[in-house]
Amino acid sequence: MRRTRTMAAASSFVLLGLAFIGQDAQTAWGGRQNAQLESAVTGDANAALASIAAKLSQAADAARDIAGDSFTMAELDPATNTLHLSVTASISSKQLEQLRAMRGQTLDIQYAKYSYNALQKLSESISANIVSWRSKGVDIRELTITPSGELQISVGSDAATAASSLDSVAGAGQIVTTPADGDGRLVPLTYRYNDSTSWNGGDFIDSTVNGLSADCTSGPPVHGLTDPDHPQYLLTAAHCFEIGGRYSTVKNGFYRPLYGNYYNGTGSAYSDLSTIGTVAYTDTNPPGAGANTYDTALIATASSTVDFNCDWDCQGRNTQSGSIGNYNNDIVCTSGAFEGQLCDITVANADTTYCPSDANYCILHASSGTRSGYIVAGHGDSGGPVYSYSPTSGKLLIHGMIDYGRPGTEVDCNTSTPNHDPQYRICFTKVYWVGMKAIESHWNIAINAG
């Protein structure tokens, strides 16, 4: 008889995916928001702010290109249509002139101690030695670049002691050490059905190996830049394939543990799911001790230029325009197969390195978002796209891939996904995603734009 267990029982951080191990169940993300959540994200005021935020994000990308190695950080203020830009004193007068010539928003420029590139290099050097640091009593949780040009490191151990140790590997004034909030665990996000080639972002995906099943969401459709034939892929989370790893076969659909079968749209029992493709490349999962990871995988398949942007059982979709950076106070949407599209998510911590307290590795280029106490994503949504809408074309600007939920922000999913027992799913009001720009660089890929 099938018995169940949550992902928390198998791992103390929270991935947003659903995994069913024989008759056992690891949790996954999915489901539809209830009427209260649907009504909470409507309104012209929110739509206007989201449009301004999207324009500011595009301006931030442009400003970052202009500033080059002098760039430190950009923050958005949609309420006042202001772009706050931090740069180092090394910026040239010509670069400043080009920045001040930008039109369409108020530009506030301030000087920072160190550049983004210098601080990111330091961050990755420290996080790559997470095991060593913790053996010395320095419990590193999160590494974030600040507008003032410092690397803020939150720790679960004594902050003063940690500061003394960390300062020994950094330049003067590079690191600020602060106490971490919470216990530092993460919740993985692993679980639309009945789709067809060319495959879309936001599909239900299932991988079953020797009777062990895991359900997640397909991420943005992408293509390779190195191979002459520019092969196509679907992006998703590497932790979706902890059971099968590389070369796992991926199918379209999701498993119903209470019924012992798959769902494809009519409520009957189905086992003949359409094959999407095979995992061609994946980051090692779980990563080795002391490793940094992007937690990403590429499914080799004919992929479209489209992501679903509606509920779990809908046909709505939109075309991808390209990738875009993550900046604090931007406003984005998630599109997990279970929870469907959820918008009005405010970026709270952009482009951080997160080191789960219960794991000896760190996740690179992670951004987090919240939604005024409402659901951001849930189990089974792992791998799904994070995006905003272009203020000019209305197409999707891809910010990243859904990855983890933050413990301490769990809520009931109230899912309407058919015949799916809520005991297998948890939802979260704070979620982490991996930045698309970093993923593109990591795998030498690009968004399929239409």
pLDDT digits (tens, 9 = 90+) for 258-283: 666 666 555 554 445 789 999 999 99
Is 224 in the same domain as 317? yes
| 63 phi/psi in degrees, rounded to 5 | -65, -35
Is 439 in the same domain as 297? yes
Is 129 in the same domain as 242? yes
Give the pLDDT mean for 389-410.
93
Contact 194, 254 (CB under 8 A): no
CATH code at position 75: 3.30.300
Is 157 in the same domain as 179? yes
H or E segment and range at residue 145: strand 140-145
CA separation for the pair 350, 222 (Å, rounded): 23
Q: What is the pLDDT of residue 45?
A: 67
Whether 288 has a pLDDT exceeding 70, the answer reads yes
Find residue 73's DSSP bridge partners: 86
Q: What is the pLDDT of residue 4?
A: 21
Most confident range, picked from 10-14, 206-210, 321-325: 321-325
How many Cα neighbours within 13 Å face the side chain of 136? 14
Could you tell me which of 194, 165, 191, 161 has the C-alpha nearest to residue 179? 161
Is 283 in the same domain as 405? yes
Whether 357 has a pLDDT exceeding 70, the answer reads yes
Q: What is the rounded average pLDDT for all residues in the chain?
A: 83
CA separation for the pair 256, 409 (Å, rounded): 25
Contact 190, 17 (CB under 8 A): yes
Number of residues that make up the chain: 450
Is 385 in the same domain as 303? yes
**Domain boundary pick from 112, 133, 153:** 112
Q: What is the pLDDT of residue 213?
A: 72
Q: What is the pLDDT of residue 12?
A: 38
DSSP string of 388-431, one letter each residue: EE-TTT--EEEEEEEEEEPTT-EE-----STT--GGG--EESEE
Is 187 in the same domain as 316? yes
In angstroms, what is the C-alpha Rg of the chain?
21
Whether 59 has a pLDDT exceeding 60, the answer reads yes
Is 278 in the same domain as 423? yes
Q: What is the pLDDT of residue 170?
A: 87
**Domain boundary pick from 112, 142, 168:** 112
Over residues 360-379, the pLDDT tens digits come to: 889 999 999 999 889 999 98
| 118 phi/psi in degrees, rounded to 5 | -65, -45
Q: What is the pLDDT of residue 399?
A: 98
**Domain boundary pick from 78, 93, 112:** 112
Is 106 in the same domain as 204? no
Whether 291 has a pLDDT exceeding 90, the answer reads no
- Indicate the pLDDT class of residue 97, thresholds 50, 70 and 90: very high
Give the pLDDT mean for 181-209.
77
Q: Percent of the chain having pLDDT more than 90?
A: 60
Question: HEC states along 240-307?
Answer: HHCCCCCCCEEEECEEECCCCEEECCCCCCECCCCEEEEEEEECCCCCCCCEEECCEEEEECCEEEEE
Is 305 in the same domain as 246? yes
Residue 110 identity: Q
Lowest mean pLDDT among 8-17, 75-84, 159-168, 292-301: 8-17
Give the pLDDT mean for 159-175.
89
Boundaries of domain holding 212: 1-39+114-450
Cβ neighbours of residue 90 closer than 8 Å, sequence gap 6 or more: 69, 70, 115
Q: What is the pLDDT of residue 261?
A: 65
Cis peptide before 286 (omega within 30 of 0): yes
Is 278 in the same domain as 324? yes
Find residue 208's DSSP bridge partners: 213
Whether 106 has a pLDDT exceeding 70, the answer reads yes
CA separation for the pair 117, 175 (Å, rounded): 14
Is 27 in the same domain as 59? no
Over residues 203-259, the pLDDT tens digits come to: 999 887 777 778 899 999 999 998 766 799 999 999 999 888 888 899 888 776 666
Number of Cβ within 10 Å of residue 295's Cβ equals 29
Q: How many domains does the chain have?
A: 2
